[in-house]
């Protein structure tokens, strides 16, 4: 089995997909207002990808080492069920989510972009990385997006998972116009 077939087989089993924030859900830039409030830019294309996974019944999580109110607002807006911020041990956070969800590590996926993500990526059944991730991360990820973090990588992995599960076309059908009679 080649690497892409292996990634598809692993993505087909996903019941939970977790994401890092900086460099994955955002482009990794950190912006601060004059008052010291951290802000980030999130991509609406990626948000719709997350929504597509939700329509398929896949649980979602954010596991990030930083702590920012804007991430909490984004998670709430996207109805992401598991939000772990300020996490030093991302693997422990994943294990907590799996325990609460009654899922196995083989049923979980994680998308990360830097060395802090390696342990959690290795523990999951499926791992992914944006195109602009560190080289070490791209070598260890099961699947690498063609798009950079915060610029469509999340959407692409969401569609990859749904396609691997044979559900992408049926979920996209709700957005397509009715065929002419």
**pLDDT tens across the length of the chain (181 residues):** 799 999 999 999 999 999 999 999 999 999 999 999 999 999 999 999 999 999 999 999 999 999 999 999 999 999 999 999 999 999 999 999 999 999 999 999 999 999 999 999 999 999 999 999 999 999 999 999 999 999 999 999 999 999 999 999 999 998 888 877 5
C-alpha pair distances (Å), 72 with each of 66, 127, 155, 162, 181: 11, 23, 20, 26, 46
Pair of tokens at residue 117: 């993500």
Going from N- to C-terminal start, the domains of the chain cover 14-82+91-101+114-123
- Output b/e per residue, 103-131; b: 16+ Cβ within 10 A: beeebbbbbbbbebbbebbebbbbbbbbb
pLDDT of 181 reads: 57
pLDDT of 1 reads: 77
pLDDT of 179 reads: 76
Torsion angles phi and psi, residue 150, rounded to 5: 75, 5
What pTM, to 2 d.p., does this model score?
0.94
The structure tokens 């799996």 sit at 98
Q: What distance in Å separates the CA atoms of residue 84 and residue 139, rounded to the nearest whole number?
A: 26
CATH number of 14-82+91-101+114-123: 3.40.50.1000
Q: What distance in Å separates the CA atoms of residue 59 and residue 51, rounded to the nearest whole number?
A: 11
């Amino acid at each position: 089995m080649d690497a892409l077939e292996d990634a598809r087989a692993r993505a087909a089993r996903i019941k939970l997909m977790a994401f890092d924030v900086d460099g994955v859900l955002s482009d990794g830039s950190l912006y601060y207002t004059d008052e010291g409030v951290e802000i980030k830019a999130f991509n609406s294309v990626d948000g719709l990808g997350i929504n597509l996974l939700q329509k398929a019944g896949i649980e979602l999580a954010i596991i990030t080492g930083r702590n920012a109110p804007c991430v909490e607002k984004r998670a709430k807006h996207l109805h992401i069920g598991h939000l772990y911020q300020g996490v030093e041990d991302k693997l422990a956070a994943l294990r907590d989510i799996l325990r609460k969800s009654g899922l196995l590590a083989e049923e979980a996926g994680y998308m990360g972009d830097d060395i802090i993500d390696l342990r959690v990526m290795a523990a999951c059944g499926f791992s992914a990385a944006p195109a602009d991730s560190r080289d070490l991360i791209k070598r260890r990820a099961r699947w690498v997006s063609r798009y950079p973090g915060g610029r469509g990588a999340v959407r692409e992995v969401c569609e990859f998972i749904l396609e691997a599960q044979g559900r992408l076309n049926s979920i996209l059908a709700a957005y397509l116009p009715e065929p002419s009679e």
